[in-house]
Amino acid sequence: MNWKKFFKVLGIVLAALVIIVVALVGYLYYEYEGKFPIDEEEYPHHIGYINTENAVLTEDFDLCDEILAGIHSSSQPKIYNGSKYAFKKYIRDHYTNDSYTDSGFLVFRFHINCKGETGNVEINELNPDLQPTDLNDTMVQQLLKLTVRKENWQVGYVKDQDGNAYNHYMYVLYKIENGELLEILP
């Protein structure tokens, strides 16, 4: 047997197989992910990204080195500590309409880290037609304080393989009419 020739053929076959596998994996990656470009100018981040430069309660707040859940599928209702009933009751029991005349929507988008702490809150103040407006600062601050209260939220119902709780993305939307809370969503 000509071992030299045998190993040469074997080497060529193996090399060809490796090239085919690499090409196939590369092709599949290209078809599934690689061929889709990103318009960095128009979409510098995914939708829902919170830019901490435009957020409040960012100091002394850090996300854990874990997955951020709740981006695609909403974290509600499990993210509410106890239930959404309890969250709504707490807000309604503690909120005071101090003769506010504002109507529209107030939205807080924020993070809850793996320890259940809240931070990185982006505030959006909108009129009834969903256009940016300026709502009463005292009312906004009052609702912000009530919303980010740590006891409102629970984490740990989804965990990684090592048992670490995820961080969560969450938003709370208040529909307001003359300072009264008509709806608390989601």
Site string for another protein, 93-122 (x = CB under 8 A): ------------x-x-x-------------
Cβ proximity to another protein: between 33 and 59 the closer is 33
- Provide the pairing of β-strand 104-112 with 68-69: unpaired
CA distances from 178 to 37, 55, 98 (A): 46, 26, 10
Shortest distance (Å) from residue 112 CB to another protein:
14
Stretch that binds another protein, among 52-60, 111-119, 136-144, 166-174 (CB under 8 A): 166-174
| Among 8, 119, 7, 19, residue whose Cα is nearest residue 63 | 119
Residue 39, C-beta contacts closer than 8 angstroms, at least 6 positions apart = none
Report the number of secondary-structure helices (H) and strands (E) in the chain. 3, 5
Shortest distance (Å) from residue 17 CB to another protein:
16
Of 90, 153, 166, 169, the residue at the interface with another protein (CB under 8 A) is 169
Of 46, 65, 99, 163, the residue at the interface with another protein (CB under 8 A) is 46
Q: Tell me how far apart the alpha carbons of residues 94 and 78 are, in angstroms, rounded to a whole number.
A: 22
CA distances from 125 to 85, 88, 141, 183 (A): 24, 20, 12, 15
**What does the chain come to in residues?**
186
Shortest distance (Å) from residue 162 CB to another protein:
24
Q: Does 130 bind another protein (CB under 8 A)?
A: yes
- Site of interaction with another protein (CB under 8 A): 27, 30, 32-33, 36-40, 42-48, 71-74, 76-77, 83-86, 89, 105, 107, 109, 124, 126, 128-132, 169, 171-173, 175, 182-183, 185-186
